Amino acid sequence: MSTMDPPHHSPGALLVCADWAIAHGDADGLAHAVRELGEHVGGRVGERLRALSRLCLADYDEATSRWPALKEDLRAELATHN
């Protein structure tokens, strides 16, 4: 029996997951998606994503209010690498 690493999702798929989590009130799902996004992106945007992941579990409403602006910054960051 071989051990396989879990699949890593693309940033685009994780963006969809984060939006889905918000639409369904899923704090854990949002925290997971933005934490994985933070692993894909370095610098200030990555730090903000990891902070948002922690905030999801402490203050979900605040986290969801911060997501739209952070998502736009993330998209801009991803575009500079393509």
pLDDT in tens, 27-58: 999 999 999 999 988 899 999 999 999 999 99
Taking residue 42's Cβ as centre, other Cβ atoms within 10 Å add up to: 10
Q: pTM of the predicted model, to two decimals?
A: 0.85
With vertex at residue 45, the alpha carbon angle to CA 42 and CA 51, rounded to the nearest 5 degrees, is: 100
Confidence (pLDDT) at 73: 95
Nearest to 29 by CA among 38, 20, 37: 20
Nearest to 55 by CA among 67, 44, 45: 67
As given in the structure block, the two tokens for residue 30 are 């949002």
As given in the structure block, the two tokens for residue 31 are 């925290």
Structure-token match 């690498």, residue found: 81
